[in-house]
Structure 1
């Protein structure tokens, strides 16, 4: 499979863009300049600890790297807390690398590590930093860096978060025992081979904490086209990597973790809801790229009467499994996809081709700038495999699971004695309010190049929502940050 490739319709940036980091112009006056002095209210921010997964870790552009980690929302939040806690330290297990360690590890078939994604420009020449596809292309920096153990003082850490961490993982002793078993991102900073995520966080003795888990509990099911088990039960020992966490297991894990974190008599914290992962650009970009442009769009594709008849005859040989496949003459044919109930044409308004779909395999018009005839027939002569498609049924299951998690998260923040000790940051609602000019990897967007994780400006937006929730609950007056001080995605060199 080729590295992720996007069509020119995906990101038309214009020919005048220079090599730069896209950042909107600064306003005449910083709107976040506090009009009242920062105060802590009823909260004690002297020892802030963050517990979470990839977003909390500052994972962005499909990699863990220094700039991303230092722009994670807990770091931004902790810097605001320093205004009222005597400049107390907030230490995060930084991987001192500008290129980073990419998720996915290595260039296929080699021992060469991949780094973070960046935009690169198209060309048919020998430029190794470009691609032979049309339009801007997110592709990894090669070589990247291998994950390395955190060299700082592990006992002084404040940020306990790692990509891939699910709600129940925080209790697993040995979750970071070694890079091959458990979580290699936690392995970097685990206090000991037999340590647990929550145990390490509690050892830091927080006076205030943020807890945000749940995204990874649905993420891997969604990005692999529903390849896992949507209903694996409540025994985590039986779970495979791509299974969605059962709501009852999520509730139990969350409440147990929150109970432990609130163990200090005066400890307080903030918990966050889970955004709808299916609204991320990862699930929309290819659909939009292939279907935008009316008569010039790559799909639906046009067939003659003879082509349609021949295809229908071929699929008829597959029997009832292909009963929903019906090609027609004209530009009305959407790709055939594999679903749990058989083959059918995709509905681009309800089904998603994920960003990892190898577009040069689609029979959907010119894909390569260098080889206009490059096609493999996916979607017409060969149904698109289910791992590249999040179909409507799977999408609805993911959304229902997120809704179930968020119901429990909101209840946890308003239950009994916790009501005055837990603030609720409604990140789900924050992301629901984003329009396509923000919820994108294009200029103006707050999502990093991997299509799933926020870029520094997106992290700052999340930090402001945490600040808003904390101030509302505890009467503190932490000032929000100016979003324009945080970069968006880096544009490529000419």
Structure 2
């Protein structure tokens, strides 16, 4: 198996990528009054501070790298604020690497970190890593770099965001104590080994802040196929890496963070809701690749009566755990998946193969012109492991948890003690309004090739949502940006 690859798209998508493109609409310069010079309204943008996790840090394409950080929505937002705050600086703890560092560990057999992902074409000669794929593949083009400490003035920073940060993590002293303890992405720029994210943000003395946390509180449970605990209790000290955060823990961390950030007499800010993670391309790409194409699609796969009978006999030996497995003759069979309640056939409308699924292990038949061998038969002779499947039950738990987080966020923003001081950027609704061509890693899409994080154009879209919320709450007239000025995903490289 080629575990280095995130995954791949089916061959039909290759032709799609080169046959069409989407031109996003261009927003007006200033939807409030194009003829009026920008004003701050009742907000003070002289010292803007951002608190968040991977998206706020500019993590995209499975890595933290320089271009991604430079196109993060807080940077875009800060540029608009300069129109009304005298050009105040917004400093990022930039990781000056074009290839970056991600969560994927090391290139197999080496100590070289895996860097950012880009599309590559699965040609045997120029892309040996793609020999076991079905089609277009997000993969590391060049090796990444080891994370290095931020060596500029940490006291002058404005963005206090690190990939992987959960809501309660920002309150933890020592969260960036070392690369091995806490979060290595925060370790890079923490003011001291015993510092906390929120403490560092408050030390910057913000007059305005953005706060967007919650995605990491469900992300690792979801992308691991629900391998963690969905209900781990209310003591975060006992949580493992893939557990989901309890709603009570999230609400307490949210309240503590907002109380601290709004402790300044005139400080104001904006919070954001969490989008429905289950609709991200990370959970849709492989399903679409295997089921789109009608009679010629890989799924459902066809079996003869003899093949179906033999498979049913084999699974019957597993007893009650495989009672829901029933192969039939014809092109009507979906893969067998592993769930918490036993084995059953996948429903591609409700169960999702994650983007990290090793494609060379799925189904049966030739893999590509580069490798005419057989796949490992996952889903037929061997159930697909649960860590590669976000099944319906797990997906519903992720959705419910996000709904609980968003309820808490909206309630906090409407609390009487925050009246007139807190705007809400409804990123959940923003994502709900995206069609499949935009909520996509294909050209025209706003999602980077890791299937989760927005690309630069997606970041610009998010920045405009923040701007709209800020203008509506505080009477400011910050102009939105032209999202056409920001790149989408880089086209395939041969």
TM-score, with structure 2 as normaliser: 0.96
Instruction: Output one character per residue of 1:352-380: Cα deviation in whole Å (capped at 9) or x when no partner.
Output: 00000011101154333312333101001
Corresponding residue of 2:105:
105
The corresponding residue for 2:350 is 350
> How many Å apart are 1:126 and its aligned residue?
5.2
Superposition CA RMSD, Å: 1.8
Deviation at 1:127, TM superposition (A): 4.7
Output one character per residue of 1:86-107: Cα deviation in whole Å (capped at 9) or x when no partner.
0000000000111111222311
| Shift in CA distance, 420/177, structure 1 to aligned 2, threshold 3 Å | same
Aligned to 1:247: 247
Q: Which residue of 1 aligns with 2:259?
A: 259
- Aligned with residue 6 of structure 1, among 5, 8, 11: 8
Equivalent position of 2:158 in the other structure: 158
Structure 2 gap ranges (5+): none
Give the conservation status (yes or no) of the 8 Å contact 1:99–1:115: yes
Please state how far the C-alpha of 1:311 moved relative to its aligned partner: 0.6
1:35 CA drift (Å):
2.8
Q: Secondary structure at the match of 1:11?
A: helix
CA distance in 2, matches of 1:61, 1:269: 29
Instruction: Write the deviation string for residues 396-431 of structure 1: whole angstroms up to 9, x where unpaired.
Output: 000000000000000000001202100000000000
Match status 1:273 vs 2:264? no
| Per-residue deviation, 1:24 | 4.5
| 1:32 corresponds to which of 20, 26, 29 | 29
The residue matched to 1:64 in structure 2 has which SS?
coil
Q: 1:35-67 deviations in whole A, cap 9, x for unaligned?
A: 321000000000000000000000000000000
User: Does the C-alpha gap of structure 1 residues 394 and 474 become closer, same or farther in structure 2, counting only changes over 3 Å?
Assistant: same
Contact 1:336 1:343 in 2 (8 A): yes
| CA shift in 2, pair 1:130/1:224, >3 Å | closer
- State the match for 2:407 in structure 1: 407
CA contact (8 A) 1:9 1:292 kept: no
Per the alignment, residue 386 of structure 2 pairs with: 386
Map residues 402-441 of structure 1 onto 2, 5 A cutoff: 402-441=402-441
CA distance change for structure 1 residues 309 and 273 in 2, over 3 Å: closer, same or farther? same
Query: Secondary structure, in 3 states, of the residue corresponding to 1:63?
Result: coil
Contact 1:10 1:286 survives alignment (8 Å) = no
1:376 corresponds to: 376
Residue 209 of structure 1 aligns to a residue whose secondary structure is strand
Tell me if the contact between 2:58 and 2:64 (Cα under 8 Å) persists in the aligned partners. yes
Which position in structure 2 is the counterpart of 1:51?
51
Partner of 2:188: 188
Cross-structure match for 1:179: 179
CA distance in 2, matches of 1:288, 1:385: 19
Match of 2:299 in 1: 299
Query: Can you give the 5+ residue segments of structure 1 that lack an aligned partner in the other structure?
Result: none
1:93 corresponds to: 93
In 1, Cα distance between equivalents of 2:183 and 2:17 = 43
Distance 1:386-1:14 versus aligned 2 partners, 3 A rule: closer
Deviation at 1:180, TM superposition (A): 1.1
For these two proteins, the number of residue pairs brought into alignment is 489
| Pairing 1:124-143 to 2, within 5 Å after superposition | 124-125=124-125, 127=127, 131=131, 133-143=133-143
Q: Deviations over 1:408-465 (max 9, x none)?
A: 0000000012021000000000001100010000010000000000000000000000
Deviation at 1:144, TM superposition (A): 1.0
1:354-369 mapped onto 2 (5 Å cutoff): 354-369=354-369
Q: Are 2:60 and 1:60 equivalent residues in the alignment?
A: yes
Aligned position for 1:287: 287
The alpha-carbon deviation at position 131 of structure 1 amounts to 4.9
Tell me how far apart the structure 2 counterparts of residues 434 and 26 of structure 1 sit (CA, whole Å): 13
Query: Normalized against structure 1, the TM-score is what?
Result: 0.96
Counterparts of 1:286 and 1:480 in 2: how far apart (Å)? 35
Q: Tell whether the 8 Å contact from 1:55 to 1:454 is kept in structure 2 after alignment.
A: yes
Equivalent residue number for residue 446 of structure 2: 446
Equivalents in 1 of 2:252, 2:25: separation in Å? 45
